[in-house]
Structure 1
């Protein structure tokens, strides 16, 4: 409902009289005498908070990607085998993925502000402690626990962004910036990590701690109280607060942990081994069990509401969302090791050859990503991103040695980065403007 002015008008029931309703304009949101009316902070404060959430997301992703270029140095310091080294990035990614959905539900039930502060602080404290690990076992445990901290801050930051930017256009822009920060962090992990390795791999984690801990403390004062961001009363659509689905949480977490554990083992012991096949089969079997359970319980309590599958093309979008992560992981792991082990480049040499990825990522984020939908609809943007990703794969397939860097690797990196970042941005928005 819109008024004659540019202010936003909302029709909400007044708390003092269930039978009455009134039209509340955007400027009325400043009054705090009615607990049902959300009170938005100033525009400047909201954009500062978006910068804080974006930084947190950047550090969460960068904590995983920067480890790839440091694997050789870490393995030498802690006497780790190649099979053990794979668990440095995988233990972090495994716990991040396994607890992401659960963290989102905790954020929904409790305070997203509290969950964000705990997760961001958790990331900083463990990153500070991780370089002091006396042995490889301690390091791998701390890496896994750090992934849990990262999983807490991501969904809670998204929830806070949605509350802080209720205007659809502002919200879409804010979420796109948040999503793009993860893509840029993925791209810059090798670049910045290679520079930091001139000193020591320890500084990769200490820099994360030096940034995240002060910002986590600042967020305690900057993030508004949850009561000021959303109504405190229940609606007819949601007559009560959701409850924690413990069985669903167990099924979902176990499914992801077992499946990823099996995939990781396949790289070290082979596919035809019991250590690979058993967790893979159990992980695949538990996921439909999890979905079945979600359909049986009250939708308010479900971690994944069955109604989400009624959204047009949601499964296709979900599949497309996985491709950027796979692409950047393969690029970083394979080519960083290839350039150092076979082509004789040092970490700085590797970082310089990955630098164009960051440049292209910045261009896509700042300019191409904001072309209005009236010029290029969602379907054409997704098709364009997929085409660039496919072109990248063809070029990289014919990059046989270091002499093909400028002819094959560089254009392949640039095409793939532009295409996959566009896919990540568009699928993260779930925009229905097609």
Structure 2
């Protein structure tokens, strides 16, 4: 491959990641401005953030499968065009309901482009130093996108007449550049070599519906009429869990059918009448290749599943930290978006340095050390805000927290995606990356939700003790002495997620785990 094409492929995929991540970080920094301009209820602000990962995380598996089957370049271009249209649409929203809907449709574009990028990188670069550089640079798009979203989003929100609408224009420009790069650098899609090219629409419907309901409940549980005791919240949560469990059973069944077909062996006979009846029912249904092989989770002696879970917990911590730090600076301290932006800049610098470190040393340092150190440092960033003294200088708590917060996200993403790619077959690369991305997106929704629940409970408890009625879930209208313990409690919950991820790494991954060796046969 010519050098110019190598550089252009990596740059294009990185730009796609920048566009995907900045879509959320730019919105986060603009939340208080949106609240005032569109008269959004403070308790519903988290839904503006959660709408994007809702659709994004719930459709990654389907789009990953379609990319592997019909072409990654095609899926990338279609996803980028979709993202461009609805990002531009968000900039014209005139009410919160319209913005929420457009944000949900916007997430579909990212769901199509990111799995395609992971598949393109894994296909273009064989295991080795080149792949390490490619994946580390792609992972650098996350802090670059987060930094661009926060820094440029804050500047544009503060200094331009269009205010919070300007960051959406920026996202459109980045997406256009990525589309141009893809047209000229990505290789033409080759026909899939799979014998059975059917799409598991039943599985796609089950997992998409289940995840949509679960993430919806996570976003709405705190603002429902009776909060988590609201009947429709309970019902939707139960239905969502049942659909996801049914999806798992269905994927297990399809994989066994496919294995029996290609090995010319009969489908294993069950030993009970109930299983015989269920098998009879299943055989009346189509049996295409599963959209996600359940054996993917058991590869490398289960370490792939551990990597997925660590990514989930780390994003719970990191995104929860980001959400509450921005609200702390703007609603509690009273900083403008621009002053808040300046205090988040160290994240951007550290993120780039971390990914450069991964590119240079991932073949020499065990993945366990990188991931364990990263999750621990991200957890400690939340700890600093959990014990923060508002009267102390920024350099005492805010600066070190911003420096170390992004380390876990960068190390886990770069190492995790490489490790998953190494344990996937060539026709599974986009699906493997989609599963990893799905775990991070669900982690984003759950981290913000759980920390919001903790915040609200502590705020309500403190208010009840002092005979005060609270009116919001982010404390913008409450006295500072009342909201500070609630902000700290939210960060304690983020710290707990980070430490759970770190503990999982230490007990389940061994020091020999490496991401740069030759590809394994699953």
Is the shorter-chain TM-score for this pair beyond 0.5, marking a shared fold? yes
Task: Specify the alignment match of 2:466 in structure 1.
Answer: none
8 Å Cα contact 1:388/1:415 also seen in 2? yes
In structure 2, the partner of 1:342 is: 332
Structure 2 length normalisation: TM-score? 0.69
Bigger relative contact order (CA 8 A; separation at least 6): 2
Larger relative helix fraction = 2
Paired residue for 2:183, among 209, 215, 220?
220
CA distance in 1, matches of 2:384, 2:94: 43
Q: Among 185, 189, 210, which residue is 2:173 paired with?
A: 210
**Partner Cα separation in structure 2 for residue 266 and residue 124 of structure 1:** 31
Distance 1:226 1:190 in 2: 35
Cα-to-partner distance string for 1:47-69 (whole Å, 9 max, x where unaligned):
21210111011101111121011
| Structure 1 residues 353-368: aligned runs within 5 Å | 353-367=343-357
Q: What's the counterpart of residue 383 of structure 2?
A: 394
Match of 2:275 in 1: none
Deviation at 1:187, TM superposition (A): 4.4
Cα deviation 1:165-195 (Å, max 9, x = unaligned): 2354322321222123124323443222211
Structure 1 unmatched ranges of 5 or more: 1-40
- Distance in 2, matches of 1:118 and 1:66, equals 23
Q: Which runs of 5+ in 2 are unaligned?
A: 259-287, 423-512, 516-522
Change (3 A) 1:372 1:178: closer
Contact 2:19 2:171 in 1 (8 A): yes
State the alpha-carbon separation in 2 of the partners of residues 188 and 272 from structure 1: 39
> Counterparts of 2:343 and 2:94 in 1: how far apart (Å)?
33
| CA RMSD, Structure 1 to Structure 2 (Å) | 2.1
For the residue of structure 2 that corresponds to 1:342, the secondary structure is helix
Q: Secondary structure at the match of 1:174?
A: helix
Query: Are 1:309 and 2:297 an aligned pair?
Result: yes
Instruction: Report how many aligned residue pairs link the two structures.
Output: 385
Greater alpha carbon shift after TM alignment, 420-429 vs 140-149:
420-429
Choose which of 231, 239, 246 in structure 2 pairs with 1:274: 231
Shift of the 226–97 alpha-carbon distance from structure 1 to 2, 3 Å rule, reads same
2:374 counterpart of 1:293 = no
Q: How does 1:57-136 map to 2 (within 5 A)?
A: 57-136=17-96
2:388 paired with 1:425: no
Deviation at 1:224, TM superposition (A): 2.0
Partner of 2:198: 243
Asked if the contact 2:136–2:356 (Cα under 8 Å) also holds between the matched residues in 1, the reply is: no
The whole-number CA distance in structure 1 between the counterparts of 2:314 and 2:385 is: 16
Change (3 A) 1:323 1:410: farther
Any idea what the Cα deviations from partners look like across 1:324-374, whole Å, max 9, x if unmatched? Answer: 322332122211112111111111110011111111112112235522443
Mapped contact 1:117–1:219 kept (Cα < 8 A): yes
2:415 matches 1:415 = no
User: 1:112/1:372 Cα in 2 relative to 1: closer, same or farther (>3 Å)?
Assistant: closer
* Partner in structure 2 of residue 143 of structure 1: 103
Change (3 A) 1:290 1:372: closer
Contact 2:207–2:243 (Cα < 8 Å) also in 1: yes
Change (3 A) 1:47 1:214: closer
User: How far off its partner does 1:217 sit?
Assistant: 4.0
Contact map agreement 1:70 1:197 (CA 8 A) in 2: yes
Partner of 1:284: 241
Secondary structure of 1:292's counterpart equals helix
The answer as to whether partners of 1:259 and 1:280 remain within 8 angstroms in 2 is yes
Alpha-carbon distance in 1 for matches of 2:12, 2:23 = 16
CA distance, structure 2, for counterparts of residue 341 and residue 251 of structure 1? 40
Q: Secondary structure at the match of 2:91?
A: helix
Summarize deviations over 1:23-77 as a string: whole Å, max 9, x none.
xxxxxxxxxxxxxxxxxx4232122121011101110111112101111222222
Question: 2:196 & 2:391 partners in 1: Cα distance?
Answer: 58
Which residue matches 1:32?
A: none
Contact 1:57 1:178 in 2 (8 A): yes
1:254 pairs with 2:209: yes
State the alpha-carbon separation in 2 of the partners of residues 58 and 205 from structure 1: 13
Alpha carbons of structure 1 residues 302 and 172: separation in structure 2 relative to 1, 3 Å:
farther
* Aligned counterparts of 1:391 and 1:325: Cα–Cα separation in 2: 14
SS of 1:248 mapped into structure 2 = helix
Superposed, 1:188-207 pairs within 5 Å as 188-198=148-158, 199=160, 200-207=163-170
Match of 1:157 in 2: 117
Contact 2:132 2:358 in 1 (8 A): no
